[in-house]
């Protein structure tokens, strides 16, 4: 690796790190509370010129970056789950199989983490990647290749057709056959009733709703919030559906939350974020129940708005404001994620 490349990596994240350095450092709340972070990415997107990657401020986020993030946060993160993001797809071979490169890459991070060199946290104890379920039963070969690439592979995240056509449903049935889960995110929360139809059609597949179900704007008018609530109610009725409570700090296309680094000189604090976003978190958690919810970092995407330490402080403030019991906190901070993604028990 050339010296020029090393310098490039070191400077690639300079802008976002400089902005975050201006935050008011907070004391860590409940530092002993065990956390499973069920949704983070890993990537090197310095050469990407397509969206959304070209606009992401964090250009390099690999083993060293996330380990430092967790260590410096002071929170007790014991395990993480890698979330599909199109990282390190194979350059060659059949198109349908290129996505397996992502799981192959992440399993290398698993091996690095399991060595203990990077500390006690076990990165990527669960992995979900991608596969084109529209291929019908033929997608089974892709799923099997993912499973062969890593024993930590747990499922896929992909879009679904509104008509839930026969070919897609045949591919979706392969998830049940292999005990795999289905993660989904669309900025359009009004797709959630259709996701509920999909969940009802195959109750053996865990459906994991990402990022509070869609774009959540703290400045949204009441009629938009009412439609979001109705959509949440539709998917919450499905017993095999769970909610990832996070991602509200995420830029979506040209829309940015009011506390994004492009719109604010100093990063937001946990008390202010809790106050601003609490209605969304409260409604989701009460609709699903803490045993079907999990807080997620969505890093490094949400890093454009808040530091890792401050984000988990905000989640702990939300839990306290809701009056969650110790058992409920154990579920929402670690237990739900460990159960749904079938993570190994932490010693």
Nearest to 35 by CA among 69, 86, 85: 69
The share of the chain scoring above pLDDT 70, in percent, equals 97
Greater confidence (22 vs 252) lies with 22
Confidence bin at 5 (pLDDT 50/70/90):
very low
35: left (phi over 0), alpha (psi -120 to 50) or beta: beta
Give residue-wise pLDDT tens across range 62-112. Answer: 999 999 999 999 999 999 999 999 999 999 999 999 999 999 999 999 999
Please give the pLDDT value at position 8.
62
| H or E stretch covering 15 | helix 14-20
Q: What is the mean pLDDT of residues 215-231?
A: 97
Grouping H, G, I as helix, E, B as strand and the rest as coil, residue 257 is: coil
- What CA–CA distance (Å, rounded) separates 291 from 339? 10
CA dist 64 → 68, 69, 181, 196, 208 (Å)? 6, 9, 28, 38, 28
Grouping H, G, I as helix, E, B as strand and the rest as coil, residue 111 is: helix
Out of 45-49, 167-171, 274-278, 322-326, least confident range: 45-49
Exposure b/e, 207-229, CB count within 10 A at least 16 = b: bbbbbbbbbbbbeeeeeebeebb
CA dist 136 → 131, 158, 170, 179, 220 (Å)? 11, 14, 5, 17, 39
Contact between 158 and 131 (Cβ < 8 Å): yes
Please give the pLDDT value at position 9.
63
Task: Please spell the DSSP secondary structure of 288-331, one letter per residue.
Answer: H-GGGEEE---BTTGGGT--HHHHHHHHHHHHHHHT--HHHHHI
Out of 45-54, 135-144, 192-201, 286-295, least confident range: 45-54
Q: What is the mean pLDDT of residues 314-343?
A: 98
Residue with tokens 């958690």: 285
All residues at 6 or more sequence positions from 67 whose CB lies less than 8 Å from its CB, including other chains: 113, 118, 119, 121, 123
Please give the pLDDT value at position 11.
85
Please give the pLDDT value at position 197.
98
Contact between 317 and 29 (Cβ < 8 Å): yes
Contact between 115 and 152 (Cβ < 8 Å): no
Give residue-wise pLDDT tens across range 33-71. Answer: 999 999 999 999 999 999 989 999 999 999 999 999 999
Nearest to 274 by CA among 236, 228, 336, 322: 322
């Amino acid at each position: 690796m050339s010296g020029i490349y090393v310098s490039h990596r070191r400077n690639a994240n300079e802008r976002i790190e400089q902005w975050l350095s201006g935050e008011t450092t907070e004391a860590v709340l409940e530092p002993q509370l065990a956390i499973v972070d069920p949704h983070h990415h890993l990537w090197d997107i310095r050469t990407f010129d397509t969206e959304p990657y070209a606009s992401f401020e964090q250009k390099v986020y690999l083993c060293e970056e996330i380990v430092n993030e967790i260590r410096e946060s002071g929170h007790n993160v014991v395990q993480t789950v890698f979330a599909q993001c199109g990282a390190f797809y194979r350059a060659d071979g059949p198109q349908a199989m290129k996505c397996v490169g992502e799981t192959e890459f992440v399993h290398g991070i698993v091996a690095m983490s399991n060595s203990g060199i990077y500390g006690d946290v076990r990165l990527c104890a669960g992995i979900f990647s991608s596969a084109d379920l529209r291929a019908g039963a033929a997608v089974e070969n892709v799923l099997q290749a993912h499973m062969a690439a890593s024993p930590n592979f747990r499922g896929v995240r992909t879009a679904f057709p509104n008509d839930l056509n026969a070919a897609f449903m045949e591919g979706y049935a392969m998830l049940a056959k292999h005990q795999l889960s289905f993660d989904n995110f669309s900025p359009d929360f009004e797709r959630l009733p259709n996701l509920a139809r999909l969940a009802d059609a195959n109750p053996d597949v865990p459906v994991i709703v990402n990022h509070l179900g869609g774009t959540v704007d703290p400045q949204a008018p009441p009629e938009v919030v009412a439609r979001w609530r109705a959509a949440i109610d539709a998917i919450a009725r499905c017993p095999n559906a769970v909610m990832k409570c996070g991602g509200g700090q995420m830029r979506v296309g040209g829309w940015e939350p009011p506390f994004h680094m492009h719109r604010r000189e100093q990063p937001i604090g946990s008390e202010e974020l809790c106050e601003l976003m609490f209605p969304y978190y409260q409604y989701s958690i009460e609709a699903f129940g803490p045993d079907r919810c999990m807080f997620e970092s969505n890093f490094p995407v949400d890093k454009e708005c808040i530091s890792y330490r401050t984000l988990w402080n905000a989640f702990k403030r939300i839990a306290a404001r809701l009056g969650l019991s110790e058992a409920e906190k154990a579920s929402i901070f670690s237990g739900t994620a460990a159960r749904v993604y079938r993570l190994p028990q932490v010693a």
